[in-house]
Amino acid sequence: MTEQEKSRLAFFRDNVLRMSGYQSGEQPRGDKTIKLNTNENPYPCSPSVLQAIRSVEAESLRKYPDASASAFCSVAAQNLGVDSDWILCGNGSDEILSMVTRAFVAPGQRVRWPFPSYVLYSVLVDIQDGSREMIDFAPDWSLSEDFYRDADSLGLVFLANPNSPSGTVLSQEKIMELVERVDCPVLVDEAYADFSGTSCVELVARNERLLVSRTLSKSHSLAGLRFGYLVAQPQIIEQLVKIKDSYNCDAVSIAGATAAMTDQAWLEQNLEKVRSTREKMIAQLESLGFEVTPSSANFVWCKHCDRSSREIYEYLKSRQLLVRYMQFDHWGDGLRITVGTDDQLDALVTLLESMLKRS
């Protein structure tokens, strides 16, 4: 930014001028591209979601929506085995992460998360003018001893579980050990937990510093609906409610999300399909010479043994197949590839075979 631009924008807070915004994955607007770059679910959502959305009446659009999305909270509470007042809804789980950061992080306060992980955490901390404390994962994607150490002015810990981009999971024991050792809230980001079959929701009752965020974007095929939620003890939810926008979830998304949460049979079938393609995908990528990190999510993290990740990304992109090329400071780069349908996997493998055959 030039000096002239800087002085013109002087009314912004300094940290806003200094920070970079979140760069989301490419979203091409044609229907020809195969999109395996943003971890969307390849299958359509439960038909009951569409039915619920179509049944929303003009009268409920004329009025403001239910500020606490209570219909959703009661179905979710029943599924998760908690009371409704343990749940806070958001416009996607990104909004939950934003609320939590705003609630706990004052300027200068430290926020810790393992590196590399979800890139949005940096942006949220920068908005608060907080201080980033990113601690490298060990080579096997476990947490290093430093991660468990308490520290002055630590305001919040983020932990994506499964992690993105690795797709790896940490055990409940390790997460509880962390919650007990650090003296601040620990937000376990479970955007991909349904695909892993493990969750920390059942541990929330044990310690009020453990907060768990979840989303309907991935396992419920509803990234476009924007609905996520937090599970925490009621005294924590009660404080967070104070900082949320009054009507953060609209009437249409509440209706759709409630229907999605009710249709657990659809969820189970969907998870089964994604997991089965994931296992085929790992085996096929390995047979093509990729080193693939074992994944518990709906994507895999991989690198080819002798072709650069950027070259593979560019080749696939030029043939209308998008994967996510990711480059992390001092860590290196790789490809994060979303699990699509079996047909999309065939298309990926065919392209990779033809690329790797050419010298």
**Contacting residues toward ligand PLP, per CB under 6 A:** 39, 92-94, 118, 160, 164, 189, 191, 215, 217, 223, 228
**Smallest separation, CB 117 to ligand PLP (Å):** 7
24 versus 78: smaller Cβ distance to ligand PLP? 24
Contact 133, 180 (CB under 8 A): no
38 versus 207: smaller Cβ distance to ligand PLP? 38
218 versus 304: smaller Cβ distance to ligand PLP? 218
**Smallest separation, CB 59 to ligand PLP (Å):** 29
209 versus 336: smaller Cβ distance to ligand PLP? 336
**Smallest separation, CB 94 to ligand PLP (Å):** 3
**Smallest separation, CB 271 to ligand PLP (Å):** 17
217 versus 309: smaller Cβ distance to ligand PLP? 217
222 versus 351: smaller Cβ distance to ligand PLP? 222
**Smallest separation, CB 100 to ligand PLP (Å):** 12
**Smallest separation, CB 161 to ligand PLP (Å):** 9
**Smallest separation, CB 353 to ligand PLP (Å):** 29
217 versus 293: smaller Cβ distance to ligand PLP? 217
**Smallest separation, CB 14 to ligand PLP (Å):** 27
Burial of 34 by CB count in 10 Å (0-12 exposed, 13-18 middle, 19+ buried)? buried
**Smallest separation, CB 224 to ligand PLP (Å):** 9
State how far the Cα of 103 lies from the Cα of 206, in Å rounded to an integer: 21
72 versus 118: smaller Cβ distance to ligand PLP? 118
Query: What does the block give as tokens for 62?
Result: 């004329």
Contact 195, 164 (CB under 8 A): no
46 versus 93: smaller Cβ distance to ligand PLP? 93
SS3 of the chain: the string is CCHHHHHHCCCCCHHHHHCCCCCCCCCCCCCCCEEECCCCCCCCCCHHHHHHHHCCCHHHHHCCCCCCCHHHHHHHHHHHCCCHHHEEEECCHHHHHHHHHHHHCCCCCEEEEEECCCCHHHHHHHHHCCEEEEEECCCCCCCCHHHHCCCCCEEEEEEECCCCCCCCCCCHHHHHHHHHHCCCCEEEECCCHHHHCCCCHHHHHHCCCEEEEEECCCCCCCCCCCCEEEECCHHHHHHHHCCCCCCCCCHHHHHHHHHHHHCHHHHHHHHHHHHHHHHHHHHHHHHCCEEECCCCCCEEEEEECCCCHHHHHHHHHHCCEEEEEEEECCCEEEEEEECCCHHHHHHHHHHHHHHHHCC
